[in-house]
Amino acid sequence: MKFMHRHTESHRSDRIGWLRAAVLGANDGIVSTASLLVGVAVANASHATLLVTGMAGLMAGAMSMAAGEYISVHSQADTEQADLSRERAELASDPKAEHVELTDIYINRGVSPDLARQVADQLMAHDALGSHAREELGISDTFTAKPLQAAWASAASFVAGAALPLAVTAVAPEHSVIAWISGMSLVFLGSLGAVAAKVGGAKVITGVWRVTFWGALAMGVTALVGHLFGAVV
């Protein structure tokens, strides 16, 4: 007797939530902290001032990322729950209309009317709300909003990213600290872009170019501000 082996596939869509938050946090940590340090360094701040500024920026940025991500994703989760509550009420008040609606969805996707009705019958008998959530609202376990997960991922990755230019500042020679911060931060950004692209299945060169360009631009702008408005100390 021949046994059929189950074909397993590895998809990247289940990584979207945490990957987005982690990449955003690390990228923001590197860019904002490096830009802050470069801007202050160009204004002729002392090495000790640079370190204090960097630490303050790290803590403030981590809290800001966590709070912002939590609020944003929680708003999405609230919207999803409201939609699910509405769908639950419609299923309770008019299940026949909901059955027709689900059938029409499959017909519009190319399934024959008879088969679409059978599929709707079986899915609604198994999990009516879940079926309508996926097919009508586009809500699933893979893509559903997870506020705490996003907040922790953003804060932790921001700290990890911000710690890199701060560590460079701590060990770099004072006379060339700007060059060290700028150069190494671009290397860090390029590496982050490459890793994120690889994990997400995108083109590595595109990921590297995108983050290094915007990182360089941010550091250039803050350096200009520090040069124009900085006071010699």
Residues 206-221 have pLDDT tens digits of 888 988 999 999 999 9
Long-range contacts of 71-77 (CB under 8 A, 24+ apart): 72/150, 73/145, 73/146, 73/147, 73/150, 73/151, 74/145, 74/147, 76/145, 77/144, 77/145, 77/146, 77/147
Residues 65-108 have pLDDT tens digits of 888 888 888 787 778 778 778 878 877 888 788 888 778 888 88
CB 35 within 8 A of CB 6: no
- Residue 172 DSSP class: S
pTM (predicted TM-score) = 0.68
Residue in the structure block whose two tokens are 């303050």: 56
Contacting residues for 93 by C-beta, under 8 A, at least 6 apart? none
With cut-offs at 50, 70 and 90, classify the pLDDT of residue 142: low
Contacting residues for 181 by C-beta, under 8 A, at least 6 apart? 34, 37, 38, 41, 165, 168, 169, 172
Q: Which of 47-51, 131-135, 136-140, 176-180 is the least confident region?
A: 136-140
What integer pLDDT is reported at residue 197 of this predicted model? 81
What integer pLDDT is reported at residue 35 of this predicted model? 93
Top-confidence residue, 84 or 224: 224
What integer pLDDT is reported at residue 232 of this predicted model? 45
Top-confidence residue, 157 or 232: 157
pLDDT at position 26 over 50: yes
Residues 139-164 have a mean pLDDT of: 79
With cut-offs at 50, 70 and 90, classify the pLDDT of residue 20: low
Residues 22-49 have a mean pLDDT of: 89
With cut-offs at 50, 70 and 90, classify the pLDDT of residue 178: very high
Residues 103-137 have pLDDT tens digits of 888 888 887 888 888 878 887 778 777 777 777 76
